[in-house]
Amino acid sequence: MNALTEYLEKYALISLEKQEKLARLIDGQMVVNVDFDAGRLHFSDGPEFRFQVLGTESDNTLNWLWAWAEEQEDINADLLTSALQMKEWGAKAGIPECIVPSVDLEKADGHILSLIASEVCAASCYYQDSYDGGASFLLLFGGELERQPGFDVAGLSRQFSNLLALYDLNHRNAFVSYLQAKGLPFTEQGMIIKFELESAEQVSTEFGPDGVLRSINGRSLPLD
């Protein structure tokens, strides 16, 4: 396991819970303005968030480019704090993908890096701002997101299924890391981990000897 995968397992579910909060709050609203001068992102029905620019994906070069290494665009220095924080963190944690200016998307894409950065930089969530030829990845900050409820069983199942469809990681490690980050008590009985979500729903997860998730509350993968 490389260091990047280790941190993805550690932070993926807690960061995906933040993404679930964003989805619940905006409920299909469209972004109407991304103000790179003020560092503000506006949705159609009113929600507004401060943001930091993390980096960009290019459909042409198939690379990720950190915002601090961007030479084509003049990004306000105030919007680079989180990208620079990730560079400093990557140097200390031994994550080469956070130190070099650009990374092949097969090694690390914007979603992996944003899921990790969302926790490292204490962001409320992240947002993919797509455009012709690529996408910018923004870390969002706002108390309204923090006040949204956490995972229910349906949201947890959906987000984890989406994660597994994209990335190869140890399922059990990801679940245990989430429970520890949330401070949720859990019990282990052989291959079964049981816990209670903030929604008060009881959850029983069964894993194989290789750490692969077999079921959530008796429902086998894929969790439709």
Which of 146, 178, 200 terminates a domain? The answer is 146
Listed residues 95, 126, 146: the one ending a domain: 146
- Do 107 and 132 lie in a common domain? yes
Q: Are residues 67 and 140 in the same domain?
A: yes
Give 127's Cβ-side CA count (13 Å radius). Answer: 27
The model's pLDDT over 126-161, given as tens digits with 9 standing for 90+, comes to 999 989 999 999 999 987 888 889 999 999 998 888
- Confidence category of residue 1, pLDDT binned at 50, 70, 90: low
Average the pLDDT over 59-85 and give the result.
Answer: 92
DSSP 39-63: TEEEETTS-EEEEEEEEEEETTT-E
- Do 36 and 138 fall within a single domain? yes
pLDDT at 224: 43
Are residues 69 and 43 located together in one domain of the fold? yes
| Lookup: tokens for 12 | 């993926």
| 207 shares a domain with 132 | no
Residues paired with 207 in a beta bridge? 213
Inform me whether the pLDDT recorded for 49 exceeds 60: yes
Residues 16 and 113 in one domain: yes
124 and 205 share a domain? no
Q: Are residues 131 and 103 in the same domain?
A: yes
- Provide the residue range defining the domain that includes 193: 153-220
Please compute the mean of the pLDDT values over residues 114-124 and round it to a whole number.
97
Q: What is the pLDDT of residue 145?
A: 85
Retrieve residue 151's tokens. 């995972």
Considering the domain architecture, whether residues 49 and 87 belong to the same structural domain is answered as yes
Dihedral angle of Cα 213, 216, 222, 224, to the nearest 10 degrees:
-160
The tens digit of pLDDT for each residue in 83-103 reads 999 999 999 999 999 999 999
- Sort 11 into a burial class: Cβ within 10 Å, 0-12 / 13-18 / 19+: buried
- Among residues 146, 181, 211, which one ends one of the domains? 146
pLDDT category of residue 200 using cuts at 50, 70 and 90: very high
Q: Are residues 98 and 76 in the same domain?
A: yes
Residues 69 and 131 in one domain: yes
Q: How many domains does the chain have?
A: 2
49 and 109 assigned to the same domain: yes
